[in-house]
Amino acid sequence: VGWILSILDELQLSPPPPVAVLPLGTGNDLARTLNWGGGYTDEPVSKILCHVEDGTIVQLDRWNLQVERNPDLPQDELEDGARKLPLSVFNNYFSLGFDAHVTLEFHESREANPEKFNSRFRNKMFYAGAAFTDFLQRSSRDLSKHVKVVCDGTDLTPKIQELKFQCIVFLNIPRYCAGTMPWGNPGDHRDFEPQRHDDGYIEVIGFTMASLAALQVGGHGERLHQCREVTLLTYKSIPMQVDGEPCRLAPSLIRISLRNQANMVQKSKRRTSMPLLNDPHSIPDRLRIRVNRINLQEYEGLHYDKEKLREASIPLGIIVVRGDCDLETCRMYIDRLQEDLQSVTSTTQRVHYQDQESSFPRVLSVQRLSPRWCFLDATSADRFYRIDRSQEHLHFVTEISQDEIFILDPELVMSECLSLPSFLPRISDRWNPAVRKRMLSDSGLGKISPHYEVPDKQKDASQTHMLQSPVSSEDQALLQAVIAGDLLKFIECCKKGANLLIQGPDHCSLLHHAAKTGQGEIVKYILEHGPSELLDMTDSETGETALHKAACQRHRAICQLLVDAGASLRKTDSKGKTPRDRAQQAGDPDLASYLDSRQNYQMVSHEDLETAV
């Protein structure tokens, strides 16, 4: 986007044409700001063009970065480093310190070994590992001692040194770091205004390590200033990044000033031409909608056959929402429906939903939705398509359906390289297609629905995933590969059909053993390909999870992998100890401090999941 805007500057077109952003790369903070979402799903191009046509033209401030060597330092005291920044104009943000250091490490490692960065999962793991290492080494802790920041004539250096910031961001748009909002909402704060991308002001924000981590659960940084001009002096080589392009800049004098404004297309909240919405007065006060779930395997195989996909879907229940409800609000109703259903499954495995207009119960899915579920638009003539979660506030429920909603849960499908035990039921096996078809053919929600009961054998399997003793030759070879720490042999066994739910050494899972013995690559592979039940599965003798095992042995990188994968930090072993307690007992206070901070964030996230969007 920045390159296109720079070319438009060179062409000097008058008036400059507006630019729409389709999010295809990484980060996509500008796309999020303009309501285009954090990534492209599979929306038809025709619908995208309709949104572009109906969009609103808004202005985007663009900022110059002028760099020269620090005049306060003699030539012989200048350190090694780049003499100029990667870009001389920024549209999103300019930052220095911790975040730039992590990005620079990733950039340099990818340039040195590009073959190791061909997987989205590996890239995320590298970012997590680099951030964790930098956190422990505190490589940016002295940033405040080596910078001087002056905004519109106001010297912010004393405050920066007092609060010991490890990252400073000059932010032009509300979004940063893949969707977080570091400026937050100042509310009634007299010194600051809400952030805008068209007001000719840039926001200056400072971060400690704690406030950087809090961004992921809805926190914000320390608001320092809103200004038109910035003078930044650095006295040592410091990692910096401009719109995600990193470098290590030698001691320099940097001036930030407004360049111009670009015309951008912002996606608008719009109503479609569905019959229900032709007349605003036809919108009912309340909608009674059936919610149906589809797994990823069925979606990818059948999404061009809408009728078969409808038959393959599984009912979750019925919700009642306002007629003008948007999808963001609808998500809360569906989450609440899940909580209600979970309370039912705690007492019985026969799960039903009582229809208000019928004395007969309806059969519902017993499996909880994963956090990654998304809405599907069922109104397209040829197929279903996904709706980006960051754009849910732009869509009304009535835009995607009138009497039923379809949602996609991508975590229901296991990797093809794994062979699960025969007693583990797949979602699609729990429902009779003929029964499902009769349910869908009933257009009246209050009529009699068929009754279905999960077989006894599957009832037991749905409660827990019991580990099995290795029986086949593949399972035996897999066990030996774990004991020997042989990653290549381990992967080969999995591809041949070995079962990851076998009992490992000491009667615990393979993940337990790999975490305990420090086999990081095997842990990564299991997290990427194994069933989610392994993550918080407990050792039958000690009650320890894999995270407990890694913390006891002070395996920091493995702890980071498990935490990032969603391992519980509050789960206690048979002695009432959390992973943080085990790290403290093992004599690793830094690891204990890290686990403690992540435990606090996990608790906040658990209390308010929507804050983490």
DSSP state of 197: S
The pLDDT value recorded for residue 425 is 34
Contacts of 126 (CB under 8 A, 6+ apart): 106, 109, 117
Q: Is the pLDDT of residue 446 over 90?
A: no
The pLDDT value recorded for residue 417 is 36
Averaged pLDDT, 14-20: 90
Query: 462 vs 413, which has greater pLDDT?
Result: 413
User: Rounded to an integer, what distance in angstroms lies between the CA atom of residue 138 and that of residue 581?
Assistant: 23
DSSP state of 412: G
Which pLDDT tens digit goes with each residue over 485-511? Answer: 999 999 999 888 888 888 887 778 999
User: Rounded to an integer, what distance in angstroms lies between the CA atom of residue 265 and that of residue 60?
Assistant: 10
Contact 171, 205 (CB under 8 A): yes
Instruction: Give pTM, 2 decimals.
Output: 0.53
Q: Which has the closest alpha carbon to 124: 179, 167, 180, 178?
A: 178
The pLDDT value recorded for residue 75 is 75
User: Rounded to an integer, what distance in angstroms lies between the CA atom of residue 268 and that of residue 50?
Assistant: 11
Please state, rounded to an integer, the average pLDDT across all residues of the chain.
Answer: 78
Label residue 392 by pLDDT band (50, 70, 90): confident
Which pLDDT tens digit goes with each residue over 345-387? Answer: 444 444 444 444 433 344 455 577 888 899 988 877 677 888 8
Which pLDDT tens digit goes with each residue over 286-300? Answer: 888 889 998 888 888
Query: 122 vs 35, which has greater pLDDT?
Result: 35
Q: Which has the closest alpha carbon to 136: 583, 585, 607, 612?
A: 583
Query: 436 vs 288, which has greater pLDDT?
Result: 288
Which pLDDT tens digit goes with each residue over 22-32? Answer: 877 666 788 88
Phi-psi region of 360 (alpha: psi -120 to 50; beta: other; left: phi over 0): beta
Q: Locate 553 and state its tokens.
A: 């042995």
The pLDDT value recorded for residue 136 is 60
The pLDDT value recorded for residue 422 is 36
Which pLDDT tens digit goes with each residue over 555-608? Answer: 999 998 998 888 989 889 989 999 999 999 999 988 888 888 777 665 544 444
Averaged pLDDT, 379-408: 81
The pLDDT value recorded for residue 313 is 86
Percentage above 70 pLDDT, the chain: 75
What's the CATH number for 2-266? 2.60.200.40
Averaged pLDDT, 140-165: 92
Contact 1, 8 (CB under 8 A): no
Contact 91, 2 (CB under 8 A): yes
Q: Locate 482 and state its tokens.
A: 């774990």
Q: Locate 406 and state its tokens.
A: 């379809």
Which pLDDT tens digit goes with each residue over 304-342? Answer: 778 888 888 888 888 888 888 888 889 998 988 877 766
Q: Is the pLDDT of residue 82 over 80?
A: yes
- CATH architecture for the domain at 473-612: Alpha Horseshoe (1.25)
Averaged pLDDT, 140-161: 92
The pLDDT value recorded for residue 336 is 85
Query: 535 vs 418, which has greater pLDDT?
Result: 535
The pLDDT value recorded for residue 36 is 83
Label residue 119 by pLDDT band (50, 70, 90): low
The pLDDT value recorded for residue 130 is 65
* CATH 2.60.200.40 residue ranges for the chain: 2-266
DSSP state of 72: T
Which pLDDT tens digit goes with each residue over 188-245? Answer: 667 888 889 999 999 999 999 888 888 877 788 899 999 999 999 999 999 999 998 9
Maximum CA extent, the chain: 87
Q: Locate 229 and state its tokens.
A: 């001009």
The pLDDT value recorded for residue 465 is 46
Query: 344 vs 594, which has greater pLDDT?
Result: 594
Q: Can you say how many angstroms the Cα of residue 25 is from the centroid of all Cα atoms in its chain? A: 15
* CATH 1.25.40.20 residue ranges for the chain: 473-612
Label residue 170 by pLDDT band (50, 70, 90): very high
The pLDDT value recorded for residue 415 is 36
Averaged pLDDT, 515-538: 89
The pLDDT value recorded for residue 539 is 87
The pLDDT value recorded for residue 429 is 36
